[in-house]
Structure 1
Amino acid sequence: MAITAKDVEELHTYAAGVMGRADHHAGKVKGIALALLGGIIWRGEPDSIRIRRFAGSPANMLWVNIAGKTYVFAYNHETEKIEIRGRTQTGAVLHAFDDTNTAADIEAAFRAL
């Protein structure tokens, strides 16, 4: 079940979880995860950020509305990249990022959403 992230505390908990899991399982996305979170805060519509919960804690999946459309941010364990998908967790992969991407890549992707 997803919850609505309405405050910095919830985003902080989510970010801390993502970064903690990146230390153990996803070292190729640690830096870019921070840039993506910045893009979500920058372009996300107020009160539209929803974070998936697993066993009572935030998981590695987040929904956000940008310019009237819903996007899903999820870590893909097979490709070891964070993906932006259209509408649903099984939606089309629009972008995929890891630490080889630059902040400019993130900015361009968010401007295009």
Structure 2
Amino acid sequence: MPQFAPVRSETTDLDAVRRYAVSVIAQSEGEALQMKTVTLALLGGIMWRGAPGSTEMIQDEMGTNAILSTTLGGRHLTFSYDQNTESIEMREGTMDGPVLHRFCNRTLVGDFERTFSALWG
């Protein structure tokens, strides 16, 4: 029976999500609201409903902020952590697009459901 080695690629959806989670959680350490719980919930939804092969993590021009780019419900969205608001901003299109929602540790489960249901509806 052939042995299969795990695929290690910087271009898989899972790898992009994992790198983004590590970056956001590290950035938020030491702040009043650590982002572990909301980051994991948000990324779980992206992995569940994101278009396969559409998710990638990139760095901003300064190389200090991770940006997750993905397609959900046929819409291109970007997610990035904003230290000023201690939240992850979901934007339409690029990082210059309008903020559709902010997720923080005060975000209720129902807010996640309503936000993502609107995208998947």
Normalising by structure 2, report the TM-score. Answer: 0.75
Where does residue 72 of structure 1 map in the other structure? 78
Contact 2:13–2:55 at 8 Å: present in 1 too?
no
Contact 1:52–1:60 at 8 Å: present in 2 too?
yes
Greater shift, 58-67 or 97-106, is seen at: 58-67
Computing the radius of gyration from Cα coordinates, the structure with the larger value is 2
- C-alpha distance in 2, partners of 1:97/1:7? 21
- C-alpha distance in 2, partners of 1:29/1:93? 18
Structure 1: stretches of 5+ with no match in the other structure: none
Change in 2 beyond 3 A, CA 1:46/1:99? same
Percent sequence identity over aligned pairs: 35
Of structures 1 and 2, the one with the larger relative CO (CA 8 A, separation 6+) is 1
Aligned positions, number: 109
Change in 2 beyond 3 A, CA 1:105/1:5? farther
Where does residue 51 of structure 1 map in the other structure? 57
Give, in angstroms, the shift of residue 28 of structure 1.
Answer: 4.1
Q: Which runs of 4+ in 1 moved over 4 A?
A: none
Give, in angstroms, the shift of residue 63 of structure 1.
Answer: 0.7
Normalising by structure 1, report the TM-score. Answer: 0.79
- C-alpha distance in 2, partners of 1:109/1:36? 11
- C-alpha distance in 1, partners of 2:26/2:38? 14
Partner amino acid for 2:115?
Answer: A
Partner amino acid for 2:46?
Answer: I
Higher helix share: 1
Deviations 1:76-100 (A, max 9, x none): 2222211110001010000011111
Higher strand share: 1
Partner amino acid for 2:99?
Answer: V
Give, in angstroms, the shift of residue 5 of structure 1.
Answer: 3.9
Q: 1:30 aligns with which of 28, 36, 39?
A: 36
